[in-house]
Amino acid sequence: MNGIGNTTAQRRSVLANVAIYGFLGAVVLLALAPTAWVMLSSFKTGNQIFSGNGFWPSPFTFQGFIDAFTQIQLHEYMLNTLLYAGFGTVGALGAAFLAAYPLARFSFRGRNALVALFSLALALPLVGLATPVFFVVRELGMFDSRLGMVIFYSALQFPFTFVVLRSFLVSTPPELEEAAMIDGAGYFTTLFRIVLPLTRPALATVAVVAFVNIWNEFFFANLLLVSEENRNVQLVLAGFKSEFGFNVTGAVAGATLVMMVPICLFLILQRQVIAGLTAGAVK
Amino acid sequence: MRGPIAVSLLPGLVLFGTFFMVPFLVLTGTAFARWSGLDFAWVGIDNYQKMFQDPVFFKAMANTLFYAAASVFIQVPLGIGVGLVLALRPRGWKTLRTIIFVPFVISGAAYALIFSMFYNPRAGLLNNALGALGLPGNRDWLFDTATARWAVAGTFVFIIGFVVVLVMAEIASIPNELYEAASVDGATTWQQLTRITLPLLRNVIGTAILIRLLVDIGMFDLVFILTAGGPDDATATLALYAYRAYLNGEWGYANAVGSVIIVIGLVLIVTVRRVFRIGERTL
């Protein structure tokens, strides 16, 4: 039976195949044509982009990519964003791992309340907190500071990271740790020698998702950063739009490069990305 | 164990307390005040009264709900449809799944740039394609009040990769015996779809709707960069409305709007959880 289940349908009528591929083809076209067109445009000249003539680049040029680095200094903003995403991910993972372990393994007063509180943050539309976040960050002297941004992004990715790591630990049997503790290993020895290696797959999963989330973050970067030299790539992309006339080739090529970072990460680590998102969603 | 557990929880508690709890408390307090960050005065429910008398607020609310409806009634069903079709495992389904997921990892700021080009009345792909088909082109989709909201919704309703992945994972977990038994009993493919698959997808469909609603309720990046809420606030969202108040130094008012965003988010979450009975298993 060629049902909806997991059977690989061997024979399907020509008509059914036409319907299936027609539908999927239309969806792929709608979902990707604008993006593919912009990516192709990064090999076009400014004249061709402005005239809107032709789908394919003609003449073909790398000038846009050269402009992105020489005129827009994209590498500097990419470095900033790499710093935010890299250290922000490490911060979130560290704090979440340290919190997830006791909240998965030990029972103490207030444990459930704490778990509920951390998880609830996942269900809040955080843009509602914009002004208070700005106020707190400013009062802490972290406004428009790179270190401040790293700390803030660690906090922003903490709830998601925590929820996934904790549910991973809850579903892992505690025997190894118990054996280690009986052998006299202390809390942190057990945590780092036994639990950490076991948690590695879950850590890899949440790390990719947190990294991509921070790489793509615009709202709070726009709220908490002002200096040119602290900006992340998303702020630069938003700037392109408002100054569309100026260096369009560099803008389009730059946007393509900025998009390619999460796309490549996803293509390489597809399994981790999907596992991470699904785990975060279903919990 | 108390000492080490407390130490272990500390980083997470500090991050969470500073950037979620404190802002949340600041929000609830200052929503009833006139506050610009410097001067402060309690004003009772003035902010809410002002809000409910401002037609722009209702416009922003209507637009936000419009985007949410576009997600619930177009994006999620389309994702379910694609997930069901890909679960039939037509040749190349893995590649197609990957391709359809790609838009999900592209940032809002990048999408804003892509669609500002795509909808461009002079050089955009949309008008050129319509022109090539002999249809009337040259419409300024984003800045025409008749089409602006639809144009904005068009940027995200085809980002369905996440729904597809959730649906496919859930289908893969449905035991094949169910379909075998059904086909022995003479159930058609259609009956298997409507009587077995869709009811078992209830949980995951609800989850997909929840996640999307959270994004829509806080929708900011795309609208802020693409149209800044225009034309004539036809695309403005609640998050953008709150952000404008923040820029004007009306922090208390911004926070009152923020509280409305959060309450709407919570109401929608509770409703969707109820309607889809999320968390209850059917098998």
When pLDDT is cut at 50, 70 and 90, the band that residue A229 belongs to is: very high
> Tokens 């496919």 sit at which residue?
B168
* Beta strand spans in chain A (E): none
Number of domains chain B contains: 1
- Ordered domains of chain A (ranges, CATH): 69-282 (1.10.3720.10)
Of the two residues B188 and B280, the one the predictor is more confident about is B188
Q: Taking 70 as the threshold, does the pLDDT of residue A241 lie above it?
A: no
Q: Taking 70 as the threshold, does the pLDDT of residue B186 lie above it?
A: yes
* Nearest by CB: A20 against B15, B88, B98: B88
Q: Taking 90 as the threshold, does the pLDDT of residue B128 lie above it?
A: no
When pLDDT is cut at 50, 70 and 90, the band that residue A34 belongs to is: very high
Distance CA B70, CA A276 (A): 26
Distance CA B61, CA B69 (A): 12
Residue range B144-170, pLDDT digits in tens: 888 999 999 999 999 999 999 999 989
- Counted across chains A and B, CB pairs separated by less than 8 A come out at 316
Residue range A69-107, pLDDT digits in tens: 998 899 999 999 999 999 999 999 999 999 999 999 999
Q: Provide the terminal-to-terminal Cα distance of chain A, rounded to the nearest Å.
A: 33
Looking at the DSSP bridge assignments, the partners of residue B42 are: B33
- Over chain A, what is the mean pLDDT? 89
The pLDDT assigned to A242 comes to 57
φ/ψ of B52, rounded to 5, equals: -75, 0
Residue B200, domain member (yes or no): yes
Kindly list the residues from chain A whose CB atom is less than 8 angstroms away from the CB atom of residue B86: 24
Residue B195, domain member (yes or no): yes
Q: Taking 60 as the threshold, does the pLDDT of residue B94 lie above it?
A: yes
The pLDDT assigned to A162 comes to 96
Choosing among A41, A45, A81, A131, which should be mutated to test the B contact, i.e. which has the most B CBs within 10 A? A131
Given a contact cutoff of 8 angstroms between Cβ atoms, the answer to whether B258 and B199 are in contact is no
- Over chain B, what is the mean pLDDT? 91
* Nearest by CB: A102 against B5, B87, B89: B5
Residue of A nearest to B120 (CA): A52
Kindly list the residues from chain B whose CB atom is less than 8 angstroms away from the CB atom of residue A225: none
The enclosing domain of B225 has a CATH number of 1.10.3720.10
Q: Taking 50 as the threshold, does the pLDDT of residue A9 lie above it?
A: no
Test B105 with A212 for CB contact under 8 angstroms.
yes
Residue B224, domain member (yes or no): yes
Residue range B214-236, pLDDT digits in tens: 999 999 999 999 999 989 999 99
- Domain of residue B74 covers 43-89+162-275
Scanning A140-247, the segments in alpha helix (DSSP H) are 146-170, 175-182, 187-190, 196-215, 219-224, 233-242
Distance CA B214, CA B264 (A): 10
Test B8 with A128 for CB contact under 8 angstroms.
no
| Burial state string for A145-172 with b = 16 or more CB within 10 A and e = fewer than 16 | bbebbbbbbbbbbbbbbbbbbbbbbeeb
Kindly list the residues from chain B whose CB atom is less than 8 angstroms away from the CB atom of residue A91: 15
Under 8 Å CB-to-CB from B150, ≥6 apart: which residues? B141
Residue B103, domain member (yes or no): no
> Which amino acid makes up residue B67?
Y
Residue B147, domain member (yes or no): no
The pLDDT assigned to A243 comes to 55
The candidate with the shortest Cα–Cα distance to A137, out of A234, A220, A213, is: A220
Distance from CA of A73 to the nearest CA of B (A): 17
When pLDDT is cut at 50, 70 and 90, the band that residue A245 belongs to is: low
Of the two residues A72 and B243, the one the predictor is more confident about is B243
